[in-house]
Amino acid sequence: GRESGVKVTTMHIENEIKLDFKDVLIRPKRSTLKSRSEVSLERTFTFKNSGKVWTGVPIIAANMDTTGTFDMAKVFAKHKMLVCMSKHILVEEWVDFCTKHPECVDFVAVSSGTSEKDWVRLQEIVSKTPVDKICIDVANGYSQHFVDYVRKVRAAYPTHVILAGNVVTGEMTEELLLSGADIIKVGIGPGSVCTTRKQTGVGYPQLSAVIETSDAAHGLRVLSCRFKVLGSC
């Protein structure tokens, strides 16, 4: 409704049960495998918007200062897992790392916020390194500005793999995928060190978020939401 020309949003309370990972266990099933060491997690993905084909283990270290590091990338690359690098890594450090460790390039992503300064930095890193994965990261991806930035990056880099988030619901997952993202970064609020929930009261239990966003992605014939992001809020 409207009051004095101002749009009023009606409050809605969701009564459905929402689950976090701590709320469930995995039910065991019979297997022909003799040991867990026989399990291979490696998969091949063809990304919806970039068209890139990537083979590896779908586990990603988030771009937090303590996890999005080059030391982490060296270890993860040995296991064919991805690391989204911290936003605070200098251009010169990126160039040096890619020159000295070319075997890791396929398993790292340059991270960017959505400010003009972030855009300038992103362009410089991409122009000076062979990195073809970009992580567009904000604490809360529910803004038109964020969607517009994803579109901007996709227009500039049509063949780069784009990760975008954070979101927790199906409709925003669809919006980002249709705007050019290949991988959706899921999670707002449930992390033990996340300040978003404490400061703003915004959040969503992580397991329910993963289920709902994955369902939306699969509806668009996208499999990339099955990636597991480590260290995310």
- Give the separation between CA 92 and CA 174, rounded to whole angstroms: 36
pLDDT of residue 200: 80
Alpha carbon separation from 11 to 93, 144, 189, 202 (Å, rounded): 47, 21, 20, 14
In this predicted structure, what is the pLDDT of residue 3?
52
Question: Under 8 Å CB-to-CB from 74, ≥6 apart: which residues?
Answer: 101, 104
Residue 5 has what pLDDT? 60
Q: Is the separation of the CB atoms in 204 and 19 below 8 Å?
A: no
Residues with catalytic roles: 194, 196
CA-wise closest residue to 101 among 76, 127, 74, 123: 74
* Residue matched to tokens 């949003």: 9
Cβ neighbours, 10 Å, residue 167: 28
pLDDT of residue 6: 62
pLDDT at 224: 43
Tens-level pLDDT at each residue, the chain (233 residues): 455 566 666 788 888 999 999 999 999 999 999 998 999 999 999 999 999 999 999 999 999 999 999 999 999 999 999 999 999 999 999 999 999 999 999 999 999 999 999 999 999 999 999 999 999 999 999 999 999 999 999 999 999 999 999 999 999 999 999 999 999 999 998 766 677 777 788 889 999 999 999 999 988 876 544 444 554 44
